[in-house]
Structure 1
Amino acid sequence: MRMARQSRGKIGEVQAIDSSELREFRKTNEAIGLRVVEGNLSLLSRKVFNVMMYHAQEMKVPGLNSPINTPASKKYFWIPLSDLARDAAYDSKDVQYLKKQLEEMQNIKLLMENERQWTSERLVSSVTLVNPAGLNKHSGQVWFGFAFPPEVHEQVMAPSTYTRLSIVYQSSLKSGSALALYEICRRYATNPSKVTFIQTYEHWYGVITGNSISDSTPPVYKYFKRDTIKPAIAEINALTDISIELIEHKNGRRVEKLQFRVEQTKQAQLEFPAPPIIDMELMGKVMKFGFSQADASDLVAQHSDDILRAAISRVEARAESKGMTPLETPAGYFRWALQDLVRNPAAAPALVAPKSVGATASTKASGRSVMERFLAARAQEALGVYKELDEHERKTLFDVFKAQNTNKTVKLDKGLDSAAVRGIFAPWYAKYLWGEPTAQSLAQFIEEYGAAR
Structure 2
Amino acid sequence: MSFRKTNEAIGLRLREGRLSLLSRKILNVMFYHAQNLTLGQNAPIDSPVNRKYFWVPLPEVAHDASYDSKDTALLKEHIEELQNIKLHMEDEHQWTSERLVSSVKLVNPSGLNKRGGTVWFGYAFPPEVFELVKNPGTYTKLSIYYQGMFRAGASLALYEICRRYATNPSHKTSIESYEYWHGALTGTPVGTELSPYKYFKRDVLKPALAEINATTDIECALIEHKRGRKVEMLQFEVRLNKQPSLDFPAPPVINSALIEALGRLGFSANDAKDICASNNVEKIESTLAMVRERMRAPGSAPLDAPAAYFRWALKNAHNIAVRALTQEISPPPAAPSSEQSNLERFLTARAQDAINVYKELPSTEVHSVMERFRSSPVAKNVRTSKGLEHPMVRSLFGRWYALELWGEPTAEALDLFLQQMTIEASGNA
Query: 3-state DSSP class of the match of 1:27?
Result: strand
How far apart are residue 279 of structure 1 and its match? Answer: 2.8
Query: 3-state DSSP class of the match of 1:250?
Result: strand
**Residues 1:133 and 1:426: Cα distance change in structure 2 (over 3 Å):** same
1:3 is aligned to none
Would the aligned equivalents of 1:310 and 1:348 in 2 still touch at CA under 8 Å?
no
1:123 is aligned to 100
Query: Does 2:45 match 1:68?
Result: yes
Percent same amino acid at aligned positions?
A: 53
1:9 is aligned to none
Matches within 5 A, 1:251-330: 251-273=227-249, 275-321=251-297, 323-330=299-306
Query: 3-state DSSP class of the match of 1:58?
Result: coil
Would the aligned equivalents of 1:34 and 1:111 in 2 still touch at CA under 8 Å?
no
**Residues 1:365 and 1:255: Cα distance change in structure 2 (over 3 Å):** closer
1:226 is aligned to 202
How far apart are residue 45 of structure 1 and its match? Answer: 0.8
Would the aligned equivalents of 2:172 and 2:236 in 1 still touch at CA under 8 Å?
yes
How far apart are residue 383 of structure 1 and its match? Answer: 2.9
2:385 is aligned to 413
Query: 3-state DSSP class of the match of 1:34?
Result: coil
**Residues 1:95 and 1:407: Cα distance change in structure 2 (over 3 Å):** closer
Query: 3-state DSSP class of the match of 1:213?
Result: coil
Query: Does 2:169 match 1:192?
Result: yes
**Residues 1:47 and 1:265: Cα distance change in structure 2 (over 3 Å):** same
2:331 is aligned to none
Q: How far, CA to CA, are the matches of 1:54 and 1:343 in structure 2?
A: 42
Higher mean C-alpha displacement, 244-253 vs 289-298 = 289-298
Query: Does 2:407 match 1:431?
Result: no
Query: 3-state DSSP class of the match of 1:269?
Result: coil
1:447 is aligned to 419
Q: How far, CA to CA, are the matches of 2:96 and 2:111 in structure 1?
A: 39
Q: How far, CA to CA, are the matches of 2:11 and 2:341 in structure 1?
A: 55
1:50 is aligned to 28
**Residues 1:154 and 1:93: Cα distance change in structure 2 (over 3 Å):** same
Would the aligned equivalents of 1:319 and 1:327 in 2 still touch at CA under 8 Å?
yes
2:221 maps to which of 225, 245, 251: 245
Query: Does 2:386 match 1:386?
Result: no
1:217 is aligned to 193
Higher mean C-alpha displacement, 299-308 vs 32-41 = 299-308
Aligned letter for 2:392? Answer: A
The CA RMSD over aligned residues, in Å, is: 2.6
1:401 is aligned to 373
Would the aligned equivalents of 1:319 and 1:326 in 2 still touch at CA under 8 Å?
yes
Q: How many residues were matched structurally?
A: 418
Q: Deviations over 1:80-102 (max 9, x none)?
A: 11210111011232222222222
Q: Deviations over 1:241-284 (max 9, x none)?
A: 11111111222222122111111212423232364232321121
Matches within 5 A, 1:103-118: 103-118=80-95
Query: 3-state DSSP class of the match of 1:140?
Result: coil
Q: How far, CA to CA, are the matches of 2:111 and 2:412 in structure 1?
A: 58
**Residues 1:193 and 1:290: Cα distance change in structure 2 (over 3 Å):** farther
Matches within 5 A, 1:58-207: 58-59=36-37, 61-207=38-184
Would the aligned equivalents of 1:174 and 1:298 in 2 still touch at CA under 8 Å?
no
Query: 3-state DSSP class of the match of 2:15?
Result: strand
Aligned letter for 1:449? Answer: M
Q: How far, CA to CA, are the matches of 2:66 and 2:45 in structure 1?
A: 27
* Runs of at least 5 residues in structure 2 that lack an aligned partner in the other structure: 328-333
Aligned letter for 2:23? Answer: S
* Runs of at least 5 residues in structure 1 that lack an aligned partner in the other structure: 1-22, 352-361
Would the aligned equivalents of 2:322 and 2:420 in 1 still touch at CA under 8 Å?
no
Q: How far, CA to CA, are the matches of 2:206 and 2:274 in structure 1?
A: 15
Q: How far, CA to CA, are the matches of 2:292 and 2:320 in structure 1?
A: 19
Please give the TM-score of this superposition, normalised by the length of structure 2: 0.89
Query: 3-state DSSP class of the match of 1:37?
Result: coil
Q: Deviations over 1:127-157 (max 9, x none)?
A: 1112222222222222111111100000000
How far apart are residue 371 of structure 1 and its match? Answer: 2.4
Aligned letter for 1:192? Answer: P
Higher relative contact order, chain-length normalized (CA < 8 Å, sep 6+) = 1
How far apart are residue 324 of structure 1 and its match? Answer: 4.4
Aligned letter for 1:264? Answer: L
Q: Deviations over 1:332-364 (max 9, x none)?
A: 221110011134424459x9xxxxxxxxxx999
1:8 is aligned to none
Q: How far, CA to CA, are the matches of 2:363 and 2:239 in structure 1?
A: 36
